[in-house]
Structure 1
């Protein structure tokens, strides 16, 4: 059998063996890249950089002769500089998990007003009205944008038409809002000749033909500039992109981030044909457009991003973590607390956020990388829990048993802190069982997006259309009204039928 000569690279890989951890240490890493970090921590700071990739080999000055130089260093000289890849720079170091470790305590959040100075001064001057609040979010620029592109689309279609006047578009939007309160099977019923269907109030402001014409020609971008599908600049959301970006900036500008923030998925109901449509069987709205949403503790929508699927043929990895990182831009070193569910959560994300002084908590899938093995479900009784803390003191992992086991991964909760929660037994008896404080905190603060969806669904426009983007447009009209409602509640606690007030002010 012929002998095979090993290449220089293969020899180096064989020489770079790893120290096998003892049975008493708990490592989590499923990618085969475990490394004893305690060995690195014992080395002085200047020498740690050598292990982290600046230079894996010592200089020749440390040896008296060429014979004492390690073979691995000699092999390193043979390799070109472009091929020398640091060993630890390619993957995240798997942590060691122990109960003896303690997590770093969070810093206090600097209390700030939820409203910016401009809104606060407007409220102090006693000039705050529902219409003025709505105009803070749905600005004149947005209204002019919608009016301009509606007329542009009618011009591009050709034929004779009457352009939408500056005062017609607010009336059109207001009529849709009122139709969300007084629902009929079809919008044509409001102009019906039958007295039991006709609505004198709605039909008074605009004729049926004019309302139908505006609805049919409604547009938010120039179709002639739409890039082809083969163009690198092609955007699946081109038809609504300028409109949504203007709204995002408006939402951010008119409300400050609260200490506690929730990030979750929201759904826009749509059952037609669209490449953007998602199916989520566990959501109340199972088919429609997925929207990543960031909400404040009051339910105010601080930011959003419509999910458009993969870009090109490239499959995006770690999508949930990237969504959280994008929403947390600008929050570094402000000690905010962010809550999200197991779709987004991971050990790498928790460490990344903690390094930026952003505190995070959420449920997690047990199959995520770098998590330790805790007690099995059968070993835990109701009210019992098991936990581990990472050696870098930036993550704690807990499993608590209720009817089922719940897994929590957080970067600021001490797992030894516990509270008692009330549970109902099969006999109907109410009992108190111990529970980690992290889980109670998560349950109390994870529902901010659900609170926003609940407010929005109370009087949603719910306009059906064959045009895929119409659903998104009317969805964000509802979102703007909800945000205006929350701002109004911050400055006035004597609110009566604010929704109708906004509609009425727009109509007159």
Structure 2
């Protein structure tokens, strides 16, 4: 019933039993019974909860097993070669300290998620952002920093040495992360902030090629990558011409195609998977509530 409520957007909960009631909801049970079950429903034994301030405290205690179960099911689907990691806002009206406002996102209010998905918008794994103190490091893996560790956790089930490619933006990109992924046979491509490069040093005992390209468009954008460059890939039947990017021309007063490095074309083509999920949410298809409290 919660899933149907998420798919069919009504003004409030009472509307599903009101004058224009939704048939599957109304005939299943009364509103009072639904609200009673929802009030006392719990996914965990509260006696197992560790109090705040004590070692092992989990702010997502009530939903942790549900998230793990969903990730296991999502992750059972074979992965495409090209994957991306990005943030997603899950729209919700609940009152909770994890709900936040991000003005640059299409969905500005909600719970922030970190998502691993493919270029078509299918999510294989996700994490719920639980605050600045979330610095979990997987056992047996290096500590690469808070943002890079998110990529490490989300890609832990990506097969090694199978020519997978991971795309991410400058929030996650660092040289140690790209070295770590390349050592596992996973290629990567991401934008990077210039001030992150001088502070990072490649390990001396690992010889891995990492290249960077600075492309000056409306503003300078720097890319780090381990599998693609300025030129196109060599193919048995090569494509003619240079990679193109669509930009608005002030003189022509319309969108025009301009030459761009192949790396820019690759990034733009495969980094938008999470935006496809957001697009569906914005049209009311995935308005699910998170019962976190």
Q: Shorter-normalised TM-score: what interval?
A: 0.7 to 0.9
Query: Residue 438 of structure 1 is aligned with which of 260, 263, 268?
Result: 263
Deviations 1:221-270 (A, max 9, x none): 111221112321221111111111111111112x0111000111112234
Query: Residue 249 of structure 2 is aligned with which of 401, 415, 425?
Result: 425
* SS in structure 1 at match of 2:176: helix
Q: Point out the structure with the larger strand share.
A: 2
Instruction: Tell me which residue corresponds to 2:166.
Output: 338
* SS in structure 1 at match of 2:147: helix
Change (3 A) 1:428 1:180: same
CA distance in 1: counterparts of 2:212 and 2:48, whole angstroms: 51
TM, length-normalised to structure 1 = 0.48
Structure label with greater radius of gyration = 1
Shift of 1:361: 0.5
Shift of 1:310: 4.0
Q: Point out the structure with the larger helix share.
A: 1
Instruction: Tell me which residue corresponds to 2:119.
Output: 297
Checking the alignment, whether the CA contact within 8 Å between 1:347 and 1:371 is kept in structure 2 is no
Q: Structure 1: which 4+ aligned runs deviate by more than 6 Å?
A: none
Shift of 1:395: 1.2
Change (3 A) 1:279 1:184: closer
Shift of 1:393: 5.6
Shift of 1:440: 0.6
TM, length-normalised to structure 2 = 0.80
Alignment coverage as a number of residue pairs: 271
CA distance in 1: counterparts of 2:170 and 2:41, whole angstroms: 39
Deviations 1:269-293 (A, max 9, x none): 3465534334433112333322111
Greater relative contact order structure (CA < 8 Å, 6+ sep):
2
Deviations 1:44-89 (A, max 9, x none): xxxxxxxxxxxxxxxxxxxxxxxxxxxxxxxxxxxxxxxxxxxxxx
Gaps of 5+ in 2: 137-142, 201-206, 233-241
Two-structure CA RMSD over aligned residues (Å):
3.0
Query: Residue 262 of structure 1 is aligned with which of 67, 71, 84?
Result: 84
Instruction: Tell me which residue corresponds to 2:10.
Output: 184
CA distance in 2: counterparts of 1:345 and 1:218, whole angstroms: 40
CA distance in 2: counterparts of 1:371 and 1:227, whole angstroms: 38
1:24-423 superposed matches below 5 A: 173=1, 176-192=2-18, 195=19, 197-200=20-23, 202-253=25-76, 255-270=77-92, 273-311=95-133, 318-330=145-157, 331-370=159-198, 394-417=209-232, 418-423=242-247
Shift of 1:351: 2.1
Change (3 A) 1:190 1:324: closer
